[in-house]
Amino acid sequence: MLKKIGQSVIFGLFCAFLILFVAPLFQNVGVFTAFNQKEIISYNSAVKIASPAVVNVYSRNFSPEHSTFEVENLGSGVIMSSDGYILTNKHVIENADQIVIALQNGVISTNVKLIGDDSFTDLAVLKIDAENLPTIPQNLDRKLEIGDVVLAIGNPLNLGQSITQGIVSAIGRKTLTESGRQNFIQTDVSINQGNSGGALINTAGELIGINTLRFGKNTNELSEGLNFAIPINLANQIMNKIIKDGRVIRGYFGVSTDLLDTAKMQGYEKGVIIANVDKNGPAAKAGIEAGDLVLKVGNIDALSPSQMMEELAEMTPYTKVKVVVQRGDQLLNFDVTITELQAQ
């Protein structure tokens, strides 16, 4: 009997030792954090860095009936320079008689100049007269990864500035517009009317994109958790071109490609297969036909449909370029005069 009592006492002391000395070790690795956590995960510091540079954008049209301007559309914008250049979506300010910018410090500007816009990327550049405006830091060397936590800042439904949180679901989405020239960041961040043109930031408060749309053309097609932003490197390129020329000047080749019918799928090692040719375009006038395999444009190898189209878009209009094409067993050379791509 005494032996059993002694064993029970020893076992009890052993359990007490575990509780007093071993349990704190597990607490450090998170086993008991639900009961003892003193700090919470917060993105407040990132929001403090970025939110002052996100503005509310209102598109107003004149109403003859009321003899006044009335808000027809709303969105958000991002201050890109301390002297007042602002990026937003083209669809936010399209056909507006007057654009109004509301800064987060309460200042309202009705003297807003539209510098230019771009239909292919749905971006527009605005300018207000101001100095020492807040901007959002950018780190173009930081690689965006699928699964990164991101925050959207905007003015959904005109409720006032709001923050929503999600993750990066995918990058490099290129097939969401008719032109196929977009390069979206896909996220599950909540986006509503009024968020368009606002900032997408990472948890360091760095600007990584311009929120632009939800997937779907109407309310029946809209999907939950399927939203898109324009990467900031592309947005910067478009903005700088608009500031320089008032528009984005792109080269036009006059062909389309099929992303599902690639050269490699047909057994070719490289090249881009032409799916359709604009009969009035530069390629057709030079003699290029649907079904041709483009191997080289100038000094640049044609590696993929998106890569080739991007290279062509960067070419200066009305310059002549040599295009190497394989047609059956023949290797052909064409001199193509690139023209300017016109927005439809």
- Among the listed residues 251, 249, 241, 248, the one whose alpha carbon sits nearest the alpha carbon of residue 339: 251
Cite the DSSP H helix spans in 38-156.
44-50, 90-93
Catalytic residue among 51, 59, 76, 91: 91
Are the C-beta atoms of residues 211 and 226 closer than 8 Å to each other? no
The answer to whether 223 is a known catalytic residue is no
C-alpha R_g of the chain: 28
* Separation CA 84–CA 132 (nearest Å): 9
Cite the DSSP H helix spans in 135-293.
232-245, 282-286
Structure tokens of 174? 């290129």
Catalytic residue among 51, 76, 117, 122: 122
Pairing, β 207-214 against β 227-231: antiparallel
Q: Is the dihedral of CA 127, 129, 132, 134 positive or negative?
A: negative
Strand-pairing partners, residue 150, are: 166, 202
Catalytic residue among 117, 190, 196, 292: 196
- Among the listed residues 46, 89, 52, 104, the one whose alpha carbon sits nearest the alpha carbon of residue 191: 89
Strand-pairing partners, residue 100, are: 58
The answer to whether 117 is a known catalytic residue is no
Strand-pairing partners, residue 257, are: 274
How many Cβ atoms are within 10 Å of 229's Cβ, its own excluded? Answer: 25
* Separation CA 59–CA 106 (nearest Å): 18
Any idea which residue has 């959904």 for tokens? 156
* Separation CA 195–CA 85 (nearest Å): 19
The answer to whether 196 is a known catalytic residue is yes
Residues known to be catalytic: 91, 122, 196
